[in-house]
Chain A
Amino acid sequence: MNMQSVLSSLEKTNLRYSMFNDFLKNGEQGNSKFLFSAKDNLTSKDFETCSGSRILEGYHPVFDATAIAKMREAGGKLIGKTNMDEFGFGTFSTNSGFGIPRNPFDLERSCGGSSGGSACAAAVLEDHVSLGVSTGGSICCPASFCGVYGIAPTYGRVSRYGLIDYGNSLDKVGLLSAKASDLSKYLPIISGIDEKDPTSCVQPKLDLKKEKIRNIAIPKEAIDGLSKDVMTAFQSSIDTLKGMDIDVKFIEMPALKYAMPAYYVLATSEASTNLARYVGMRYGHQDGDLSLKFDDYFTYFRSKYFGDEAKRRILLGTYTRMAGFRDRYYAKALNVRMYVINQYKQIFNEYDAVLTPTMPFVSPKFEDISKMTPVEAYKADYLTVPANLAGTPHLSVPCGYDGNGMPIGMQFVTDHWKEDLLLTMANEWDHTFDMKRAEVSL
């Protein structure tokens, strides 16, 4: 049966795609009902958890993240921790301390980030679901690049207990799978209030039999800067949606262009405080001259084991919350966030969903990524960031392929707690769209 064959070939598969940091070797399926993997920033008792960072190398958590615990309770077997950008800092999963996951459609290209390993596992493994985490688009981006379905729920729908924080007010645990139906199957399992995480909310239950998306708004601002292939695929998808009896209208959404700077200010402000605990003292990796004064030791350790992108974001985040700058950046970004939320709310008064492509281009080649400046890389997230800033649920579905066969995705955003609309959409789309799976040869 294919569960066992997935388990027996895991080592070989990983050798080819580098999607896991740590995984089950020679595992037996036992009486498990399904296999799942989880992004490496979700703590688990049985695997090393490093959040893609060398600063946490060797760290074995003493507790399971709530999402993982719930998947296990439902009969799932955790087969590995998927590779990611260090602490979630990136769009291409190239900022990991532990190798770079490779796109199943082209090994020279990125899986997207930061849940790159999860998207890769969803694309490559048979009948697989992976827990991903989104802060600014880290589920939808890799889902789009790897041609699979990905959903990031409303902030607060899924407990963050056991999630190693990037930006606590933005982080959301979600799902990636090649099967649209898996999203509806597993999202209710990981959802719900958790007394261990005060931001997991009392929430409306997911009602999958509820109404469907009937009308969609497309912000004109989202169409600027798309690559030709993405534009073509997106346009033909719009036609398909119209054919499914869905109203599609173009609207103006000026808030979109302010979301990006506000996001980077808030996310890095929070990240810089979250990362302050990594000083080589309490968990994970330790080395160095212990006779140094403590601040010299901390400085040595953090300089050596944080990657460049982590350092960049710590500096940026520390700067934006410093006395004298706090009002200009951090406090202002909080206001912009309210502005973005309000604009979404206005649109949702009239429309069921906002639709955009997920990423402005198909997955780039590693050699091209290495030539990008940080700002260019940050800009790639301009379509995924707004919904994340607003805490609204969003879904990426595959919607086409470019001339090289690279997948293209589009992203639906609905109002808070309206994941049921997204899940119905995913299933409907799955029946209409002819999805291609990557060729997997070992």
Chain B
Amino acid sequence: MKIGLEIHVQLPTRSKMFCSCPTTDADAPNTHVCPTCLGMPGSKPVLNKKVLEYGIKLAKMLGCTIADTTWFSRKTYFYPDMSKSVQITQYDNPIGYGGMYYLNGRTPIRITRIHLEEDPGKTKRVGELSSLIDYNRSGIPLAEIVTEPDLKTPAEAREFLGQLIQDIRHIIDLPGDGERSIRCDCNISMGIERCEVKNVTGLKNVERALTFEMVRQTKILKAGGKIDRETRRFDEERGVTISVRKKEFEADYGYIDEPDLGIYHVKELANSIKIKESPLNRSVRLSKEYGLDEKTAKQLIATSMELTDLFEEVAKATDVQTAKTWIAGVVSANWKAFECRCSEHLEQDSTRNGILEIICKYKAGEITDTECSLEIKAYMTGKDPESVQTESSDLDSIIGEFLIANPEIIEDYRKNDKAINKVIGYVMKRAGGTYSSTDVVCAAKKLLQEKI
């Protein structure tokens, strides 16, 4: 089985690709529009240079060759939501081509190309006879990433897409709902002919659509049938793909160079752009450098890049084991609260330094581990140390008593760390609401670790 993906990423510019209309959600249809994105006669596209920058960043992330000069093309086709019946896209020389992405840092997935293009408007069916068109989306910048058919299973495709999205979000600072702004065309072939499932949104749906196709195509082949080359769409509600059109004839878009825009010499720009380390590369590096297992590394990164920064800082200031114990423990448990409390300053090291100092004090033997834990918690949540201490000693004694009454749990925990759930369940039942779940988990873990 061969699976290739075409991934459309909405680039997070503030204005559209070729005009100054905003890209934010509009209150009403056709309010974020102007002569250019409506394709009015005489209007001209003016490229938002940010789009090139984002394109270069993604091309670098994907290990693509970046063209020294790049330009745009016109793709002609007739559809009501296309304001000019012409889409400005890249054809001859995309911003990047010939890249490689290593799934889990190991499995190579070849990247055919990445190109930049404008989104068309949106059509909405109203009843049987009419359609309404909203051009607010018309001209929103997209990057399209095309992979070679190197993915082998629907699950692998999902994993790939998940990692890719996380990396993309980090590299070009996609907003939190980044997954929504990513659409995917999935190509799948079990034999010779391939089918394309257009416009699938979300990781889960990509896997569902591909799995459905896998089963459908296998059945046909087993029965001695032939797969038709065609375009299909995914019905999210029913979980099935439906044929849209047979591809007996390939559409001819009659590409020409976009004459309203010039040629862009991007060599210097490309050289000047440095990209951040992608989350995937970082987790690979963390495993190598600190001997972290893959799962812990990914968890750290998934929680927050700043938490991962802190991990590295602590590891350098003390040692890897200390960093692991504290960062993966109490610091990680209180991270969300910490983020909420000082969201704006998190990127500044000074805020994080407080935690580093406390851990260093512990490492130097100035405070006990209980004190260290309390201080970190007090620092991160902004509560006063006294109440943190009372809370946690209360919590400790509740758990301690429970463990004394139920020693078999400790035995269980040795073999299966899920045994902790009994402790958590008990505390929540007895004193539900008084303590936050992260506190309970943290304290239970700590006491169980001490007992085994």
Q: Are B41 and A273 in contact (CB under 8 A)?
A: no
Would A279 and B76 count as touching, CB distance under 8 A? no
CA distance A62 to B255 in the complex (A): 30
Give the interface size bracket for A toward B.
Answer: 35 or more
Q: Is B261 within 8 A of A198, CB to CB? A: yes
**Residue pair B259, A167 in contact (C-beta under 8 Å):** yes
Interface centre among B39, B44, B47, B255 (most CB of A within 10 A): B44
The reply to whether the CB of A281 lies closer than 8 angstroms to some CB of chain B is: yes
Q: Interface on chain A toward B: helix, strand, loop, or mixed SS?
A: loop
B42 touches A276 (CB 8 A): no
Which residue of B38, B47, B78 has the most chain A CB atoms within 10 A of its CB atom? Answer: B78
Does B80 contact A294, Cβ atoms closer than 8 Å? yes
Q: Taking the nearest CB of chain B, how far is it from the CB of A77, in angstroms?
A: 21
Contacts of B47 in A (CB 8 A): 198
A161 to chain B, nearest CB (A): 5
Query: B252 in the interface, Cβ–Cβ < 8 Å?
Result: yes
Residues of B within 8 A of A65 (CB): 42
Query: Is A205 in contact with chain B by the CB < 8 A criterion?
Result: no
Is B136 part of the binding interface, using a Cβ–Cβ cutoff of 8 Å?
Answer: no
- List of A residues within 8 angstroms of B46 by Cβ: 195-198
Give Cα A273 to B73, complex, Å.
11
A199 contacts partner chain B, Cβ-Cβ < 8 Å: yes
Is A168 located at the chain interface by the 8 A CB criterion?
A: yes
In the complex, what residues of B have CB within 8 A of residue A198's CB?
A: 44-47, 260-262
Q: Please determine whether A273 and B252 come into contact, CB atoms closer than 8 angstroms.
A: no
Interface of B is mostly: loop
Does A409 lie at the interface of the complex (its beta carbon under 8 Å from any beta carbon of B)?
no
* Number of residues on chain B facing chain A (CB within 8 A): 32
Is residue B84 within 8 Å, beta carbon to beta carbon, of the partner chain? yes
Shortest B112–chain A CB gap in Å is: 19
B44 surroundings in chain A (CB, below 8 A)? 160-161, 196-199
The answer to whether A330 and B256 have CB atoms under 8 Å apart is: yes
Residues 66-108 (chain B) with a chain A CB within 8 angstroms: 74, 76, 78-80, 83-86
Q: Please tell me if the beta carbons of B256 and A277 are within 8 angstroms of each other in the complex.
A: no
Task: Provide the residues of chain A in CB contact with B250, threshold 8 Å.
Answer: 323
Instruction: Check if A273 sits within 8 Å of B40, measured CB to CB.
Output: no
CB distance from B43 to the nearest CB of A (A): 8
Are B256 and A199 in contact, CB atoms less than 8 angstroms apart? no
**Complex interface bits, A274-302 against B, C-beta within 8 A gives 1, otherwise 0:** 10110101110000001100110010000
Would A282 and B38 count as touching, CB distance under 8 A?
yes
Could you tell me the distance between the alpha carbons of A291 and B257 in the complex, rounded to whole angstroms? Answer: 35
Query: Considering the complex of A and B, which 7 residue pairs feature the smallest CB-CB distances, nearest first?
Result: A276-B85, A168-B259, A169-B259, A321-B254, A43-B42, A162-B42, A164-B41
Residues of B within 8 A of A (CB): 35, 38-47, 74, 76, 78-80, 83-86, 129-130, 250, 252, 254-257, 259-262
10 A-B residue pairs with CB within 8 Å: A61-B41, A162-B42, A162-B43, A163-B42, A197-B46, A277-B85, A318-B254, A321-B254, A323-B254, A326-B254
